Amino acid sequence: MSNCVLFTVLLIKVSVSVLKKYKDVEGVVKMEEVNGEELVKRFAEEMEEMLGRKMKSVKVSIHSFEYYNSMLINTVDENGNPLPLGGEFLLEPNEHFNKLPVNTQQSNIQVPTNVYNRDPDILNGVYMSEALNDVFIENFQKDPTLTWQYFGSSTGFFRLYPGIQWIPDENGVSTFDCRNRNWYIQAATSPKDVVIVVDVSGSMKGLRLTIAKHTINTILDTLGENDFVNIIAYSDYVRYVEPCFKGTLVQADLDNREHFKLLIDGIHVKGEGKVKNAMKESFRILNEVCQGSLCNQAIMLITDGAMEDFQDVFEEFNWPERRVRVFTYLIGREMTFAENVKWIACNNKGYYTHISTLADVQENVMEYLHVLSRPMVINHDHDIIWTEAYMDSVAQSLLLMTSVAMPVFSKKKETLSHGILLGVVGTDVALKELMRLAPRYKLGVHGYAFLITNNGYILSHPDLRPLYKEGKKLKPKPNYNSVDLSEAEWEDTEEKLRTAMVKGDTGTLSLDVRTSVDKGRRVLFLKNDYFYTVINETPFSLGIVLTRGYGQYIFIGNVSVEDGLHDLLAPDLTIASEWTYCETDIDPAHRKLSQRQAVVQYLTGKEPDLKCDVQLLEQTLFDAVVTAPMEAYWTALMLNTSGIDEGIETAFLGTRSGLMRFQSLFLSLHRSFLTSTDKENMFTLDHFPVWYRRAAEYPAGQFLYYMPRQDIRGTVEEIPLLSKHTHSQNTLFPLFPAMFSRFSACQSQTKCHTYNSHRLIHIPNLESWPLSFSLSASAHKKKGDILQPCDTEYPSFVYEPSVKETNSIIKCGRCQKMFVVQQIPESNLLMLVVQADCDCSRQHAPITMEPKECDRMRSQKIRRRPESCHAYHPQENADDCGGASFISLSASIFFMCLTFSALFS
């Protein structure tokens, strides 16, 4: 008996056993239709409540001096004595903090290497912020789902809770500066439109040009996706460093900022510096462009001197309102033109700095943030901001996070007009934890939830793949946090969904979609219903997707806890480890429990205080009871191995509740399939198993045979799987005209800085395309390569099940090959006999489609501007424009600025 026939017989027996058990409990089963509108609103309310707790902790945080430097703790000198600012600092691994050694009773301080850690301003600030330590601890006790809490000072130190050992880079340097982080910059300033003007005349050669480039890059690092920017270079004439951005501002997202940095690296100096025309062009951009942040506007002038009579430019374009601030950076040791350069800044509500070395750049660039923050600080506006997605650099993990932050400032009347910003306080939110509030079982086999920002960028989406592999290491793609929703939901060709969500609307939309599974190798054709709404008090919008068919209904059964527990403890049974059946992160005592252990502890009454999803537990217990006969059946097969062909290795099944039963029918086999490392074939936070998804769209009563890719061994192994339901089918067999329709599939490669998903491009007139190849590709990034955006097109084929048998000839250059193909009944398998002495594999290589970079970056998609804007205040003291002594604050002033926390307690 062949493997296929034997396995089909076994699967029929399995189906009969399960159906018989289902009949026993059929009376307590009911079918409910899923209300997508109600579901998305409920998920959004739960997310709003969770994010609200994070905002409250930030507000409360603005409330014996011991300075623990995080780089020096637990280290000693050559004599065995603790280093100054070091000392013993207890660290213990903590599951909640990515298993990092932390101290949950104490925060500690990180200071960048380029900042003197004994500077009086640092010491005073650390002393004044010590009161935050108790607040951080109390916040964590009230909300155990909190992760990192921190205060970033305007002087450069970073207070972090819980305390950690800060690991320097390979050169022993700590380059992390909290003032460069997006959460700090966004909280400290309102959105801004910035034109950077750089002098590239002949006098700017050598070290001056190097300093100028570093200054531009540092300014770019202070911009985010709510800001807009352009860069102009001038000497005898004015030119845009990116010609396709002429006369406009572009969004300062990560893509565009990195693009500018590459262009700046290649600029050269020549000619005489004439700043007047460059300033005129800058004002034209800011005055005439109707797109941008439309809030703060600034020109950043980087030069080694200004000799022209430029006053009339400001009279014509900027006075008397002085709506555009001008910040000037004098490069080099020469001070001949210092007064001219300072005059420009002081007469345009800006700030002047002198940068003579590379080490001066960071601190001097930061000054402009303090100036832009003045109106907000003077007005005492404690705006709360949320950042776009980013990788957690503190924990050195690859988890996507968002931060909530707000500014801290002086409230002393004597310094009110100076608008003194003390720093920014914030906390991180793991997006993975947020998405647990939209559980997979409520959304169905193809359903999912996703989050986007006010700019249309993805915070979380199952098709967002922000990492690529370089050697054995995973690294973030250059544009991982500026992936637009249109790149994932590409069937939304008119961008109706994107537009509505960016605007913060609530509504529904239906789309016919083609989606890829099995890492882009297979295509499913689905009818999706989208439900979306805004999450109040945040710039985020939530969307959920329900697929017509199984996504429309939820199957609810009810069995006794006693019966369910008995079957839940079977050795062949597991539940989805990434799903939240019970919340184990609230009480530290529960953090070491697996989800299955937590469920058992809760149901047996040993841990009644656990917060569990009752509906999910009911479904899981029901599924455990209904599928219980499988354990005995599979055990009998194992004991009677004479009835099993050696080709049959593993039996398994899965249910919507995340329950899986599987049994290795030969104990000596050690397979990577269906293990915790094989994410594609397991229930995860992002998706149902690929075999489950494919089976769900296959015709009822037919069998689906699925071929997982064993990437480690480099081979393809066939493992047959039961399919009780599904639809259209791709194949990896050689293809031929009579039985297949052609599509093109776009698949990202590791060398590409791609936007995220495997996209399918429809070709209206489907044509026959005979060829023989496997839809797999590998591209390795060479050392020195720069990751660039691209889409790679692959032919993909959809099988026509009405054709049962065919034969033909494939022409391959100078030779031809004959083939005969026949459908195997009640399956997705085809038997192919083909002449093997003619190679056609090289005829149709993947096509890499070069993107239109200029059009892509210049395009301005619909976005929602942040609600708050603080660009002007009549009490601002614009006379403080550089060169003056720094105004330091006493401890009493600092604590006065924290007293407003009582308003929120």
Q: pLDDT for 658-705, tens place per residue?
A: 999 988 776 555 556 677 778 888 999 889 998 899 888 888 778 888
Confidence of residue 4 (pLDDT cuts 50, 70, 90): low
Give the model's pLDDT for residue 765: 26
CB 151 within 8 A of CB 408: yes
CB 544 within 8 A of CB 531: yes
Q: In the structure, how many helices (H) and strands (E) does the chain have?
A: 20, 42
Higher pLDDT, 9 or 467: 467
Residues in the chain: 905
Give the model's pLDDT for residue 709: 60
Give the model's pLDDT for residue 800: 77
Nearest alpha carbon to residue 387 among 803, 840, 31, 866: 866
The residues of the chain that CATH labels 3.30.450 are 438-551
Strand-pairing partners, residue 400, are 391
Confidence of residue 780 (pLDDT cuts 50, 70, 90): very low
The pTM for the full model equals 0.84
SS3 state of residue 147: coil
What are φ and ψ of residue 532, in 5° steps?
-145, 155
Two tokens, residue 420: 């003194």
Q: Please state which of the ranges 483-492, 652-661, 755-764, 852-861 shows the lowest mean pLDDT.
A: 755-764
Give the model's pLDDT for residue 721: 33
Report the pLDDT averaged over residues 233-238: 96
pLDDT in tens, 569-627: 998 899 999 999 999 988 888 988 999 999 999 999 999 999 999 999 999 999 999 99
Pairing type for strands 805-812 and 296-303 reads: unpaired
Give the model's pLDDT for residue 750: 34
CB 246 within 8 A of CB 240: yes
Give the model's pLDDT for residue 436: 92
Give the model's pLDDT for residue 748: 39
Give the model's pLDDT for residue 745: 47
Higher pLDDT, 756 or 103: 103
Q: How would you class 285 by CB atoms within 10 Å of its CB: exposed for 0-12, middle for 13-18, buried for 19 or more?
A: buried
836 pLDDT above the threshold of 50 = yes
Give the model's pLDDT for residue 10: 58
Amino acid of residue 811: K
Question: Which range has the top average pLDDT, 328-332, 394-398, 408-412?
Answer: 328-332
- What's the CA gap between 625 and 805, in Å, rounded? 43
CATH number for the region 192-373 comes to 3.40.50.410
Report the pLDDT averaged over residues 221-226: 92
DSSP letter string over 608-657?
TT-EE-HHHHHHHHHHHHHTTHHHHHHHHHHHTGGGS-TT--EEEEE-TT
Strand-pairing partners, residue 408, are 423
- What's the CA gap between 133 and 397, in Å, rounded? 24
Give the model's pLDDT for residue 104: 94
337 pLDDT above the threshold of 90 = no
- What's the CA gap between 742 and 797, in Å, rounded? 5
Give the model's pLDDT for residue 83: 83
Report the pLDDT averaged over residues 324-345: 94
Confidence of residue 3 (pLDDT cuts 50, 70, 90): low
Give the model's pLDDT for residue 853: 64
Give the model's pLDDT for residue 242: 95
Give the model's pLDDT for residue 443: 94
User: Residue 798: which H helix or E strand, with range?
Assistant: strand 791-799
Alpha-carbon distances of 667 from 527, 639, 650, 653, 901, rounded to whole Å: 42, 11, 10, 18, 62
Confidence of residue 309 (pLDDT cuts 50, 70, 90): confident
What are φ and ψ of residue 531, in 5° steps?
-125, 135
Report the pLDDT averaged over residues 264-288: 94
Amino acid of residue 855: D
- Tell me the percentage of the chain whose pLDDT exceeds 90: 45
Report the pLDDT averaged over residues 160-172: 89
Residue 478: cis peptide before it, omega within 30 degrees of 0:
no
Two tokens, residue 350: 């800006």
User: Residue 468: which H helix or E strand, with range?
Assistant: strand 467-470
Nearest alpha carbon to residue 535 among 46, 868, 48: 48
Strand-pairing partners, residue 650, are 664
- What's the CA gap between 896 and 611, in Å, rounded? 40
Confidence of residue 710 (pLDDT cuts 50, 70, 90): low
HSE toward the beta carbon, residue 497, CA cutoff 13 A: 26
751 pLDDT above the threshold of 60 = no
pLDDT in tens, 864-895: 988 889 999 999 988 889 874 333 334 433 44
The residues of the chain that CATH labels 3.40.50.410 are 192-373
539 pLDDT above the threshold of 70 = yes
Nearest alpha carbon to residue 309 among 279, 336, 283, 285: 279
Higher pLDDT, 21 or 661: 661
Q: Please state which of the ranges 117-121, 180-184, 337-341, 730-734 shows the lowest mean pLDDT.
A: 730-734
Report the pLDDT averaged over residues 131-146: 91
SS3 state of residue 868: coil
What are φ and ψ of residue 318, in 5° steps?
-130, -20
151 pLDDT above the threshold of 70 = yes
Give the model's pLDDT for residue 812: 76
Give me Rg for the CA atoms of the chain. Answer: 31
Mapping DSSP onto H, E and C, the string for 685-730 reads CCCCCHHHHHHHCECCCCEEEECCEECCCCEECCEEECCCCECCCC
Q: Please state which of the ranges 5-14, 820-829, 887-896 shows the lowest mean pLDDT.
A: 887-896
CB 657 within 8 A of CB 616: yes
733 pLDDT above the threshold of 60 = no
Nearest alpha carbon to residue 303 among 368, 354, 258, 369: 354
107 pLDDT above the threshold of 80 = yes
Two tokens, residue 717: 């192994």
Contacts of 245 (CB under 8 A, 6+ apart): 230, 857, 858
Give the model's pLDDT for residue 288: 82
SS3 state of residue 833: strand
Strand-pairing partners, residue 423, are 153, 408
Task: Please state, rounded to an integer, the average pLDDT across all residues of the chain.
Answer: 81
Q: Please state which of the ranges 88-92, 203-207, 524-528, 758-762 shows the lowest mean pLDDT.
A: 758-762
Give the model's pLDDT for residue 511: 96
SS3 state of residue 137: helix
Higher pLDDT, 899 or 572: 572
CATH fold of 438-551, please?
Answer: Beta-Lactamase (3.30.450)
